[in-house]
Structure 1
Amino acid sequence: MCAIFGFVAPKNQELLEKMAQSLRHRGPDDRGFWQSDECSLGLDRLAILDIKGGMQPCVKDTIVSVMNGEIYNFQALRIELESLGYAFSSNHSDAEVIPFAYKEWGLDFVDHLEGMFAIALWDSVLQNLILVSDPVGKKPCYYTLEKGDVYFASEIKALLHVKPNPSICEKALYAFLAKKTVASPYSIYEDILQVPPATMMIFHQGVLVNERRYWTPCFDGSLVFSSEDEYVKLITESLERSVKMRAQMDVEFGAFLSGGLDSSLVATLTAQHTSKQLETFTLVYEDSIEGKDDDERFAQIVAERIGAKRHIYRLGHEEVWSSLSKVLRAFDEPFSATISPYFLCSLVAQHVKVALCGDGADELFGSYFTHRNSAKLDEIKNYQLSNGLWRKKLNVFSDEELSMLFGKYISTPELFFGGAHAITQLHQTLEGEFCDQLPNQVLKYADRLSMAHSVEIRSPFLDRSFIELVGHIPSSLKIKEQEVKYILKKVALQFLPKELVFRPKEGFVLPIWRWMDSVWKDRIKETLKMSDINVDFGIQQAYVDSLVREWENGASHHAKIWSLVVLTIWNKERKYGYIRNA
């Protein structure tokens, strides 16, 4: 895991070093630069594999590359490439396969990679800069064009050394207020963009000359077996393979263990691939919270079954409030969804560099309200309302409310729906959210909040082969008779106690709403009273005041008000130049 950055522009050592320093938290172990008259590439390294010999950039004749992430099938690729005559210089670096793979397969090299990655590759013969994101969008890469030059980096903050005073992107601002996050290809800034998931971009002479999506998930439910046991067997084998691949590293590693189904299953399988006692990490709360108090008990049950060592982080409302500015610095954008991994990863960093987690299981097998509602709609014949349209009705701010908030007409797009493969409502929702909510919200907080503490998170459920398998499993086996993640629970019963498998899902969500109604109420009101978002973004203060009054009188405006609080705090950080002064 690393930070990558660079530019196709005249040499500028000072800029390269500033970009590197901005991203040091992503790679504190080492730093590498490569420069020519036309191109400069850099990397801050978090050393996980081939500690001594795995440094980047990787230079192979006319090809130079840097990568943030991991290539899990690098050993098989290395054997294949060596048989084709390529000579490797490292002992077992996964990054070294990239320039050789490009030499051998050209732009199709990405189809041979299994892993999570953001890659920048410079072809000095063609004078092309190639940026590539992994299939799901786990690893970020932002870019900007400036006076005929191209600049890129793992996080926005590094690009603010190139564009110190960027304009706010109104479309991105509306998207945040509607959906708690800014979705790729946009960023909160007008001229800074993000490479979308599963995308390859080619820049030549400062111009984006080619952009293609090389992979798309397929939720078609086409895999038909005669018994559920056959599905269970296939899922188990694929998941065990995925965990095994993600347990390859040269450093100590651990696993998140919330006490829920997904993390408990991953931790149990991970424990089989370490010769030492597995380190596990659990987040609990200082005050008693209904539905969350059992997390510690179930996590203990799993830890004892697998012989794991337990680490517990006890989080309180005061720490969360006082940390909001630091959390938002990690995103470089307003973000009002889950932030609890920030605190847990501060504990992880004290013990290991890498932790495996259960991210992706909900989006593949069905768990959220939208998934449950979709399964119910599948029981209704001739249902007419489009999938993307009814899901849009669940936005934090509707188009009508956004129009009142800004005092002008605003219309946001219907929610993304891939739609090319899915037939049932449930699969339409899963496919749409897999391409939108997963990378733009879940994987964003997983990456930014872990890397803020120099921790790498690996997600076995998001293995490309596993995703393709689960996409082909019928939706009727994902939510069956109102039982969410039905077929995954049958898999889990092979490894976990029934009591845990069928406990209600609690998730990684902080009790924000509860704190807003009690210990944070005065702070919330004061923050919005002193806010400058009305001046800076054209937000109507009278409408904000009305939302606060209605909330105090019992209206369920928590998500709206929280998003406005987040925007206020982030805007203060933005204006006072926290990034450029880092």
Structure 2
Amino acid sequence: MCGIAGFVGAENPAVLRTMARELAHRGPDGEGFLSDTKRHVHLAHRRLAILDIGGGIQPMSLPDGRITVVFNGEIYNHRSLRSELEARGHRFATSHSDTEVLLHGWVEWGEELLPRLNGMFAFALLDRAGERLVLARDRFGEKPLFWTVKNGEFVFASELGAMTKHPSLRGTGIDRLAIQKLFAYSFIPGTRTPLAGVQRLRPGSWLDINLSQIDHAPLPAPIERSYWRFSILTDAAPAGTEDDWAEELDHLLGKSVSARLESDVPLGLFLSGGVDSSAILAHAADARDPKTIDAFSIGFTEPSFDESRYAERVAKLVGCNWHLKLCDLDAVRSELVALLGRIDEPMGDSSIVPTSVLCKYAAESVKVALSGDGGDELFAGYDPFKILGLARMYDRMVPRKIHQAISVLASRLPPSERNMSFDFKVKRGLRGLSLKPSMWNAAWLGALGSREISELFEEQVDPETLYGEAITAWEQSQAGDDANRTLEFFTNLYLPDDILVKSDRSSMLESLEVRAPFLDNDVVEFARRLPIDVKLRKGVSKWILKRSLRNRLPDDILKRAKKGFGAPISRWLRQLPMPASSRTSFLNQRVLSRRWADHAAKKCDDRGALWIWLGLDARLSHLAP
């Protein structure tokens, strides 16, 4: 895992080093630079050394200088690709560097290399023979990559903070629509970022920059192309019985976990005691002696947020080395604002707090950790999947005026501070049902509705624009039914733009690499072929995954209700001072002050919107001073 940065433009070694320095937490083990003055391409790399410690130094070039790459991530099938390339006549200088596989793979296959890669990655590759610079990102966007063209220069980096160190971004303003979407989804979906004109490269995409006329004409607009996108294959069910499917899923997940255990540095696992992380640990114990496996958990003194007893049960069952950090969440609160200032971009997902605590704890012992990310998205693990049928029935049968009356009554329910409380679910659910089905999933996740966002920004906000990404995903889906459309929404939007952002930023702050076995190519290809009724059956989520684990994990783990990784944000916000800076002056301060006061007085639960305000206030001073 590493950090990369660079630009196409006037040579400026000081700027390149400053951009790299901003990524030092992503790569504390070394740095490297390359400037190709003929093509005006300048590359920087910060290294977190995981594989081939001595041979994986970057930027890395082929001996003939044709190709140079800076790479962030891991290619899990690098050994099989290396063997295939060697059979085609390629000769490698390193013993087992996955970075070198990218160089030879590009020479052999060009852009057809990308769908062959099984891993997490973001890289920039300078192809001197082809006079092009190529940027690429993995299928789900596990590794971040941002880019822009400003004042005639192309700039890219792993994080927004590094982007802002390039002089062409000086004076860049805030993207108001991106911030509106942050309140609407609780994350920023798609290609937008908080910075106007700065884009996120889409997962499963690559960017092509033509350098052939660099000395004679303005830099042409980069061309973005897609090489893969997740979709449900409704008419492609695997052969065999459901038990055959469960057995195959068990085999593929075990194979994925085994591949992700390769490391030249200490490695461990995250363990919450939920189905997904327990599955990863159970499979890891097949591949390794359990006594050599370190599993890390955090527990909380607040009972409604604590899952440590389940993690302990699984750890004892497997026989691994279990490490528990018991946290007083009120003590964590004191570090809250500092954490929000360090996270690269504002997030509406407050579980960044316990995730960061867990990463910091694990990083004291290991440099790599496996997680259960992706299981909920691939196998319908979230609460909305269970209520879609009721939602459709409610939408058809309940007149708008009665719905409005029900919503008013629900708004009077006393707010609770408990994790995923009844009143929280009811109020969020009813807000979504005020909209078209194509907007439900985004509205159920979001902190505010469109009318509230209009009030906050003092302008009329069009719901069709606000929820545009959700609407497009829903209407362009070929899945046919609400459950599969919802699965595609969570996998194509929520997973890359919330879950994986949270995982990457919280782990990289601690120089820790996190790997997600559920996102293995073969596991995903198999999962997208499975019918929805084996993922969600009679109210049981992740049915086929649980069936595949029935000989590995006990029923009380497989059947327990999903809890989620939360923190008592509602209570914390009542104890923190209200933001008083001018960093969010583009928002209606009167509205925010009223919401803060009402929340503090327990008149309402406005945790989502106020958390976003707190994060914006903490981070925008770094991104757009």
CA distance in structure 2 between the partners assigned to 1:451 and 1:89 by the alignment: 29
- How far residue 191 of structure 1 moved from its aligned partner, in angstroms, is 2.6
Aligned mates of 1:172, 1:405 — CA distance in 2: 14
Give RMSD over aligned pairs. 2.2
Q: Deviations over 1:352-384 (max 9, x none)?
A: 100101001011111222222235568899999
Distance 2:321 2:259 in 1: 22
SS at match of 2:82: helix
**Residue 580 of structure 1 aligns with which residue?**
none
1:214 aligns with 2:227: yes
Aligned residues: 564
Aligned to 1:15: 15
Q: Does 1:417 align with 2:417?
A: no
**Amino acid corresponding to residue 594 of structure 2 in structure 1:** S
CA distance in 1, matches of 2:392, 2:481: 6
CA distance, structure 1, for counterparts of residue 263 and residue 396 of structure 2: 51
In structure 2, give the amino acid aligned to 1:442: I
Map residues 510-525 of structure 1 onto 2, 5 A cutoff. 510-513=567-570, 515-516=571-572, 520-523=573-576
- In structure 1, the residue matched to 2:311 is 299
Residues 303-350 of structure 1 show CA distances to partners (whole Å, capped at 9, x for unaligned) of 122221111122233443332334234432211202121111111111
Q: Could you say which residue in structure 2 is the equivalent of 1:130? A: 134
* Residues 326/465 of structure 1: CA separation in 2 closer, same or farther (3 Å cut): farther
1:202 to 208, 211, 215: 208
Residue range with higher mean Cα deviation, 264-273 or 418-427: 418-427
In the alignment, structure 1 residue 567 sits paired with structure 2 residue 616: yes
Aligned partner of 2:83 in structure 1 is 79
**Which of 592, 603, 619 is the aligned partner of 1:554?**
603
Give the aligned residue type for 1:23.
Answer: L
3-state DSSP of counterpart to 2:505: helix
Q: By how many angstroms is 1:80 displaced?
A: 0.9
- The 1:113–1:160 alpha-carbon spacing in structure 2 relative to 1, beyond 3 Å, is same
Residues 209 and 220, structure 2, Cα contact 8 Å, conserved in 1: yes
Which amino acid is the alignment partner of residue 298 of structure 1?
Y
Q: How far 1:569 sits from its partner (Å)?
A: 2.7
- Residues 402-443 of structure 1: CA deviation (Å, up to 9, x unaligned): 111121111213425164331221110010121111100000
Please tell me whether residue 356 in structure 1 is matched to residue 360 in structure 2. no
> For the residues of structure 2 that align with 1:178 and 1:377, how far apart are their CA atoms?
20
301-310 vs 250-259, which moves further: 301-310
Q: Say yes or no: does 1:527 pair with 2:578.
A: yes
Q: Distance in 1 between matches of 2:372 and 2:178?
A: 29
Q: Is the 8 A contact 1:334 1:567 kept in 2?
A: yes
Cα displacement string for residues 543-568 of structure 1 (whole angstroms, at most 9, x for unaligned residues): 22332344325323222222222223
Q: Which residue of 2 aligns with 1:405?
A: 456
Give 5+ residue unaligned stretches, structure 2.
398-432
Corresponding residue of 1:328: 340
More deviation in 309-318 or 467-476? 309-318
Structure 1 position 433 matched with structure 2 position 479? no
Residues 23, 467 of structure 1: CA spacing in aligned structure 2 closer, same or farther, 3 A cutoff? same
Task: State whether residues 125 and 134 of structure 2, in contact with CA within 8 Å, keep that contact through their aligned partners in structure 1.
Answer: yes
Deviations 1:231-281 (A, max 9, x none): 101111111111111111212211001111110110121133335521111
Tell me which moved more, 49-58 or 205-214. Answer: 205-214
In structure 1, the residue matched to 2:294 is: 279
Residue 341 of structure 1 pairs with residue 392 of structure 2: no
In the alignment, which residue of structure 1 is the partner of 2:147? 143
Counterpart check, 1:178 vs 2:184: yes
Deviation track 1:454-492 (CA, whole Å, cap 9, x = no partner) reads 000000111122112111111111111111111111112
- Which residue does the alignment assign to 2:160? 156
Q: How does 1:303-314 map to 2 (within 5 A)?
A: 303-314=315-326
Question: 2:266 corresponds to which residue?
Answer: 252
Decide whether the 8 Å contact of 1:201 with 1:211 is kept in 2.
Answer: yes
1:443 aligned partner: 500
Matching residue within 528, 537, 541 for 1:484: 541
- Output the CA distance in 1 between the equivalents of 2:270 and 2:103: 34
Q: Which amino acid aligns with 1:323?
A: E
Whether the aligned pair in 2 keeps the contact of 1:325 and 1:573 (CA below 8 Å) is no
Contact 2:341–2:618, Cα closer than 8 Å, also in 1? no
Alpha-carbon distance in structure 2 between the residues aligned to 1:401 and 1:378? 25
1:284 Cα offset (Å): 1.0
**Letter of the structure 2 residue corresponding to residue 194 of structure 1:** R
- Structure 2: how far apart are the matches of 1:479 and 1:376? 15
Distance 1:388 1:509 in 2: 27
* Separation in 1, partners of 2:363, 2:602: 43
| Contact 2:302–2:329 under 8 Å retained in 1 | no
Asked if 1 retains the 8 angstrom alpha-carbon contact of 2:204 and 2:229, the reply is yes
Q: Structure 2 counterpart of 1:548, which letter?
A: W
Code of the aligned partner of 2:441:
R
Change (3 A) 1:210 1:533: closer
Structure 1 residue 224 displacement after superposition: 5.4
Contact 2:161-2:623 at 8 Å conserved across structures? no
For residues 512-561 of structure 1, the C-alpha deviation after alignment (integer angstroms, 9 at most, x for no partner) is 22x24xxx4142xx314x24355x21x22332233234432532322222
Q: Report the CA distance between 1:198 and its aligned residue.
A: 0.4
What secondary structure is seen at the aligned counterpart in 2 of 1:139? coil
Letter in structure 2 aligned against 1:420: S
- Summarize the Cα distance change of 1:464–1:421 in structure 2 as closer, same or farther, 3 Å threshold: farther
Change (3 A) 1:421 1:158: same
Which of 18-27 and 557-566 deviates more? 557-566
Conserved? CA contact 2:25–2:511, under 8 Å: yes
| Equivalent-residue separation in structure 1 for 2:389 and 2:12 (angstroms) | 55
| Partner in structure 1 of residue 522 of structure 2 | 465
Deviation at 1:302, TM superposition (A): 1.4
CA–CA separation in structure 2 for the residues paired with 1:128 and 1:121: 8
Change (3 A) 1:532 1:89: same
Deviation sequence 1:385-405 (CA, Å, 0-9, x none): 854222243232111111111
Give the % identical residues: 31
